[in-house]
């Protein structure tokens, strides 16, 4: 598997650890097996600093966004760089919602083979997996799979933007907007630029860079960044706030006006 695909394994490892807690924010019983072969090894290498807790909080936040927005009329959910995520098995969405998982061919095939070997149940939603290079013309593949740009869509690029440059992140958001009907949304996580500069994160970031998966992009003004590329932020939270892992985040949430604080943003934005 490509180096970046190993991130899907350590993310699955973090979801497995969360699922095994008595007070788990979600239940992903397949995560431990989907984390093989290197997920736990890499999680130990990169771990600390709230990484496991953040994956748990982010997963639940995006789960809730999907549940809420489909209940309010969204008919299509597009999971960009879906990795080893199993939302199509875990979530119970309205019968008229179509879910698409977009990722590169090797990862999707690996995932499908593993799920088959594990005897995983059929998806609980209508699901189509789209094999596409996210650096190429992936919208054409999405449309070929049945995507309808005339329907309101929820785009979920989980754990993706920080692997992209600012220009690539902007292009991705504009692409979402170009293929969205009125009433469409994005639910996403974004790093702060300060997190990428903070002395506290440099060992972690150096390890990622050494393994060929550097984190590249963050913004301290997420509302402005989203707005400049077609999306109006309707909800912005940090881990530890109500609705975003309150009581589970190991650090105090600092007021927004406090400068030089590394932050993770969790947000929902509506098509402008």
Per-residue pLDDT tens for 91-113?
999 999 999 999 999 999 999 99
Looking at residue 2, its pLDDT comes to 52
Residue segments in the chain with a per-residue pLDDT below the cut of 50: 1, 3-4
CA distance 213 to 185: 28
CA distance 228 to 262: 23
> Which residues, listed in sequence order, are joined to residue 264 by a DSSP beta bridge?
191
| pLDDT-above-90 percentage for the chain | 89
Q: What is the pTM of this model?
A: 0.96
DSSP structure string for 67-117: HHHHHTT--EEEEET-TT--HHHH----TT-EEEEEE-HHHHHHHHHHHHH
Looking at residue 159, its pLDDT comes to 94
Looking at residue 175, its pLDDT comes to 98
SS3 120: coil
Please, are residues 14 and 51 in contact by the beta-carbon 8 Å criterion? yes
- A 10 A CB-CB count for 68 gives 14
Domains contained in the chain, CATH given:
3-271 (3.40.50.150)
């Amino acid at each position: 598997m490509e180096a970046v695909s190993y991130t899907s394994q350590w993310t699955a490892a973090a979801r497995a650890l969360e699922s095994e807690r008595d007070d788990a924010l979600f239940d992903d019983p397949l995560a431990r097996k989907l984390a093989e072969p290197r997920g736990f090894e890499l999680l130990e290498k990169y771990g600390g600093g709230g990484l496991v807790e953040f994956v748990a909080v982010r997963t639940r936040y995006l789960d809730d966004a999907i549940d809420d927005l489909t209940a309010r009329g969204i008919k299509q959910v597009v999971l960009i760089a879906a990795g080893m995520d199993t939302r199509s098995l875990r979530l119970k969405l309205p019968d008229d919602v179509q879910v698409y998982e977009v990722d590169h061919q090797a990862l999707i095939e690996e995932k499908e083979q593993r799920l088959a070997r594990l005897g995983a149940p059929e998806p609980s939603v209508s699901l189509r997996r789209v094999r596409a290079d996210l650096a190429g013309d992936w919208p054409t593949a999405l449309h070929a799979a049945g995507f309808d740009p005339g329907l309101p869509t929820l785009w979920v690029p989980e754990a993706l933007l920080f692997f992209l440059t600012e220009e690539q992140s902007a292009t991705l958001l504009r692409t979402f907007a170009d293929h969205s009907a009125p009433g469409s949304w994005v639910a996403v996580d974004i790093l702060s630029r300060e997190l990428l500069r903070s002395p506290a994160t440099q060992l972690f970031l150096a390890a990622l860079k050494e393994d060929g998966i550097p984190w590249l992009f963050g913004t301290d003004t997420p509302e402005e960044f989203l707005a400049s590329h077609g999306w109006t932020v309707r909800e912005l939270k940090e881990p530890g706030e109500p609705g975003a892992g309150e009581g589970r985040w190991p650090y105090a949430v600092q007021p927004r006006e406090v400068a030089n604080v590394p932050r993770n943003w969790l947000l929902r934005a509506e098509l402008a």
